[in-house]
Chains A and B, each alone.
Chain A
Amino acid sequence: MHASAFCGFYVAKADATLFNDRSEVILVRDGQRTIITMSNDFKGDVKDFAMVVPVPTVLRREDIRVVERRLFDALDAYSAPRLVEYYDENPCVRFDLYDSVMESEMSRAPTSTGMAQEKTARKMGVTIEARYTVGEYDILLLSATESVGLKDWLIANGYRIPATAHEVLDPYIRSNMKFFVVKVDLARFQQSGYTLLRPIQVRFESNKFMLPIRLGMANSNGSQDMIVHAFTRTGRVECVNYRTVKVPSDRNIPLFVKQQFGAFYKDLFARAHRREGRNTVFLEYAWNVTPSFSGMKCDPCVGPPPMPREFAEAGADWGGAATFYTRMHVRYGRDMFPQDLVFQVTPNTENFQARYILTHPAQGDLTCSEGQDYLENLAYRRQRELGELNALTGWDVAKHKGYVNEVRGRLSPERRNNAVPFGWNIKWPGDGFPPSWPMVAWIAALILVPCLIRPAKRTVAVA
């Protein structure tokens, strides 16, 4: 149990059971402007809710908004890792090819009076820079000169701060950051009619493009998950102080995974996370989602692509101009993530999605010679699918022998023990290889031109 959120921490006024192990954030970066939307899946009693987030500037009232929770749902549904199903043709009969798409069934981890307050604040070295009410929230922007004063002030005003928090507050105070402190106004919350707290969005101009994760670790020893949905005009967002790697994708997996795709992806992620050293940021999705761009936006789409209305709500409303969507998933803990996450926008527009492939076998009579060849390959393919499943998730696949044997059983007896052809379906390493024509032409020119150049008369050519 850890009472923490991605960039700040949830602080309780009572010993309520607070819990949050997956947070989501939308990051929009355009030049020096950053817009951060923080999802709020706080499960405790709302009267206990409070949040502290370091921000680089004193935000103005118009820089703070409350947005609808369904924005996150729409983005998550659209960019989540996906399953795709293909159907094999029966080689003995002409068949039409069907592609169908299955909605991923990933278990969405549930995905005082002012004057007096100010006077005591000043005594403790805390300045209340601004005070706003936005939607159901009461918001304060604090600046502080030292962490103990800030901690004391928060405690005096009824926020329960983790014991070690002031050690982490210090670096942010020294970096001249302000503190965005949020509480819920119960009366307004009840009037609003919402049952869940809505996400808060802030925008500011700063050359720092980062997420302060360290504060959220103040009272947590375990690891937390964060999904970052990033939008830029130019291309992918990547982390500059940790490695950004792609999550394993485009793998053929056995059919029976369909029923347990949520568990499959969870284990796959855990394994990839361990294998990469537990200190990486994973890329789950990267695509050009420009509203006017008519090309393919996902393959397959597990949710409808974001609409202009959603871009506007996220703050990436660029009037139909190029928009690039990057989804990152990071599992972080204090031991492997000592630094806050710093990002950069790159011109990289290469598409990527976490995608896993199910292939249904051909139906009908397969006794013809081509049909028997097909079954032989199918048995081999299923064996590889099991191997892939084991490699990706670490699941024990020995109990799934039947998955291969049911295909073998359909082979004629003389074919049953045939060896599988070697080198079946070799994949070239990397993309863009074998080379393209412009590359061949360029290399040819680079070889030819030096041959054509005549040496100058001088042998020593120093200016």
Chain B
Amino acid sequence: MRFLQPITATLVFLKQDARHFQIVFLAGFLLFGILQLHWDAELTRYVFLLGTCLGVQACFIRWKSLPWSSLKSAAVSALGMCLLLKAAGPGALVLGAVVAIASKFMLRVNGRHVFNPGNLGIAAAVLLTGDAWVSPGQWGSGVALFFLVTAAGCMVVLRVGRIDTSLAFLGTLAVLEYFRTVLYLGWEMDVWLHRLSNGSLLLFAFFMITDPMTTPRAQRMRVIWSVAIAVLTFLLGWFFWINSAPIWALLIISTITPILDHLQHGDAFRWNTERPEQPAHHEQHQLT
């Protein structure tokens, strides 16, 4: 069975670190978008985002003597931004990427960074430049199954332990949307389903709010946190007609994450699963 060796070796490598899976999945989504959904393959945009994120992370790695493996975190943030953030010029992309990565090191409370880097980067690019935007419709609603299966599969396999945030968020939003669209407004069920199966929403639910570094540490607090994001998403979308409401909801709710952490402590998260505990490096990993 020697021919299987490269495959098993790859799997072992992937399983070492949840970020390996994230990178593979996010890059896969990007390829799917370009090849299957016929997005414009804006290579310049991807190069700017990835390059800037990795470059800024490298600066901090040198400055703070962090392990080089933390570049993976920057790659995850960059890929997430490639999938969501669009811009008319490179300035907005560079700003977004710099803010995203720098915020991990500059905006810290109790030794943790407060905002999801990709989320803050997108918000900064959109708000500060007026040159960037998010296209919530770019995934359509037909790829729902695709996302659900792969994302759920990846979550289960990796046991990142943040599936609770995705489920609490989607479940709350599904119930609220059901009350609003079907029971109150009187639309048919497929309107409800079409709203919920939006690809951007699912990507957000499975890949953005599950970042173990910026979700509350205790499970109970995480569920409260996710429900709050869902409620705010619902309110912003229906009553203020804000497109891409989840992005803004997450940004706002992230500000109370330190409070939730203070209310109930939980264990700090570590990316690597294979290596034995190394208390000396424990704190360092949190930085990444």
Chain A residues at the B interface, C-beta cutoff of 8 Å? 167, 170-171, 174-175, 207-209, 235, 238-246, 276-277, 279-280, 338-339, 342, 344, 346-350, 429-433, 435-436, 438-439, 442-443, 445-447, 449-451, 453-456, 458-463
CB neighbours of B142 from chain A (8 A) = 277, 279
Considering only CB atoms and an 8 Å cut-off, how many residues of chain B contact the other chain? Answer: 60
B186–A171 contact, CB under 8 A? yes
Q: 7 other contacts beyond A167-B186, A339-B195, A430-B43, with CB at 8 A cut-off? A: A243-B37, A245-B37, A338-B190, A347-B132, A431-B40, A446-B58, A463-B111
A455 (CB) vs chain B CBs: closest residue: B65
A204 to chain B, nearest CB (A): 14
CB neighbours of B175 from chain A (8 A) = none
Stretch of B7-15, B133-141, B256-264 contacting A (4+ beta carbons < 8 Å): B133-141
B132–A241 contact, CB under 8 A? no
Interface residue from B51, B87, B283 paired with A446 (Cβ < 8 Å): B51
Find residues 88-102 in chain B having any chain A CB closer than 8 Å to their own CB.
Answer: 88, 90, 94
A19 to chain B, nearest CB (A): 26
CB neighbours of B94 from chain A (8 A) = 442
Decide: A348 near B86, CB < 8 A? Known: A240-B243, A442-B48.
Answer: yes
Most buried by A among B86, B90, B131, B137: B137
B278 to chain A, nearest CB (A): 12
B37 (CB) vs chain A CBs: closest residue: A243
A-B interface, 7 closest residue pairs, ranked by CB to CB distance from nearest: A446-B55, A430-B41, A450-B58, A432-B44, A461-B64, A453-B62, A243-B140
CB neighbours of B65 from chain A (8 A) = 455-456, 458-459, 461
Q: Mark B52-81, 1 if CB is under 8 A from A, else 0.
A: 101110110111111000000000000000
A453 to chain B, nearest CB (A): 4
A347–B133 contact, CB under 8 A? yes
* B146 interfacial contact with A, CB 8 Å: no
* B153 interfacial contact with A, CB 8 Å: no
CB neighbours of B244 from chain A (8 A) = 240
A25 to chain B, nearest CB (A): 19
A175–B137 contact, CB under 8 A? no
CB neighbours of A239 from chain B (8 A) = 137
A338–B137 contact, CB under 8 A? no
What CA separation (Å) do A450 and B37 show in the bound complex? Answer: 37
What are 20 residue pairs bridging A and B, where the CB atoms are less than 8 Å apart in the complex? A207-B241, A209-B241, A244-B138, A277-B142, A279-B141, A338-B191, A344-B133, A347-B87, A432-B43, A433-B44, A435-B47, A439-B47, A439-B48, A443-B51, A445-B55, A446-B51, A461-B287, A462-B111, A462-B283, A462-B286
